[in-house]
Amino acid sequence: MRLLPAVATASLTVAVAYYLYIPLPDAIREPWKLIMMDAGFRTMMHLASLKAWLGFDHYITSIRQSMDGFDGMVGESGGGVMPGVKVSDITFAGVPVRVYEPPAGGEGHLRRGLMFIHGGGWALGTTKKGSYDAINRMLSDELNTVVVSVEYRLFPEVHFPVPYLDCLAAAKHFLSPEVQARYAIDPERVAVAGDSAGGNLAAAVAQEISTDETMSVKFSVQALIYPVLQALDFNTPSYLQNQNVPVLYRLLMVHFWLQYLGADLSLQSQWLANNHSSLHHTSITPELRARLDWTALLPPKHKQNYRPVIVKKGSQGTGKEVPGLLDVRASPLLAGPEVLVKCPRAYILTCEYDVLRDDGLMYARRLQDAGVSVTNDHYEDGFHGCFSLITWPMEFDVGKRALRGYLTWLQNNL
């Protein structure tokens, strides 16, 4: 009988270890910290799904509540608080924004301006708490920059194109001569930036603004942090290489895309197999496919021994079921060269161990081919989400380096 407690303890220990442990690439530093963080995130999602199954809140609502508690703990740690930065929560063209104003300079001195769009799979996140707030305060203070972070509407309340339209409306308001003058911003030094899904929105907004001849002030630079840029190929080398690397799994990214585009989640297996972009779909022309042909756009070191997954005859009617699938406002990588040539110079941060790595690398190459100046900061030990992991209790060395690289580039180019 004495063996029973020991056996139970051993079994529980093995079960917990099995749940926690995920094999990670050797190049990722501080692996156990990432493993523990990922276990917490997975637990949060599992509990949220259970509550939804039991008929309580929508699972996204439950995840937001859990994340609010964590962000509150990060905020209380004091990371990123800059006493001289004035913070205001207002609206731009009806869209909620948070404005960070640096300490006032000498009379007549114009300042930089930057619009930031947060990530979170178009469903999660806020820039009012946690590391996003800390980063924007730091940027405003160090670079003498008026930062505007956009609180665009999220899933499940809305789908595409609403988040994009929110960001575009806020951007046009921010770039208006009246607002530029009110905040003493130099109209020649205005940026748009974002990470992950926010990078998607930033890239799409930058494309629209750059081709809008009615805009007298346009973005001079765009800074995209591991942006998600296309939904036609979920079998790029980075999607396959990093499909099980935390915190953004391949399956989760497809899930986010289906939610954003208002598609049925039952299409997940079809999208994972690239059936939704098969040769059967004549609306996806050879010219369009070339815009995300990683065999031509990626450097050899990232192509490795992977082979393109092109399905000859896949699911039918997907284009009709998901009308936003080929919309460049959702997938900026699909934009034509006549659009890219007008885009502002770019900073694109990519991470080796991120399913979105190849999206960023392909976009950098296409912008360069169009004649746009591009800086690609690639972190060989980076993983998705590391840029915002710079405050206690989840601070990573690679996150601090990525943030410093972003700030340095803006300092020299904006």
Residue 336 in contact with residue 325, Cβ under 8 Å? no
* Residue 141 in tokens: 């203070």
- Is 281 annotated in the active site? no
**The two structure tokens encoding residue 2:** 């004495």
Q: Alpha-carbon distance 283 to 325, whole Å? A: 11
Query: Is omega for the bond preceding 308 within 30 degrees of 0, making it cis?
Result: no
Note if 354 is an active site residue. yes
Pick the catalytic residue from 62, 131, 149, 196.
Answer: 196
Task: Decide: 119 and 198 in contact? Cβ < 8 Å.
Answer: yes
Q: Which of 216, 205, 208 is nearest to 179 (CA)?
A: 216
DSSP per residue over 160-174, as a string? TTHHHHHHHHHHHHH
CA separation for the pair 124, 388 (Å, rounded): 14
User: Is 49 one of the annotated active-site residues of the chain?
Assistant: no
Cα–Cα distance for residue pair 76/130, rounded to 1 Å: 9
The CA distance from 127 to 105, in Å, is 25
Which tokens go with 65? Answer: 């509540």
On whether the CB atoms of residues 311 and 272 are closer than 8 A, the answer is no
Q: Enter the DSSP assignment of 291.
A: T
The active-site residue out of 38, 377, 384, 388 is 384
Tell me the backbone φ, ψ of residue 197, rounded to 5 degrees. -65, -30
Distance CA 334, CA 248 (A): 22
Structure token digits, residue 222: 């765009």
Of 354, 359, 377, 381, which one is the catalytic site residue? 354
Pairing between strand 221-225 and 345-353? parallel
Residues 203 and 363: beta-carbon distance below 8 Å: yes
Catalytic residues: 196, 354, 384
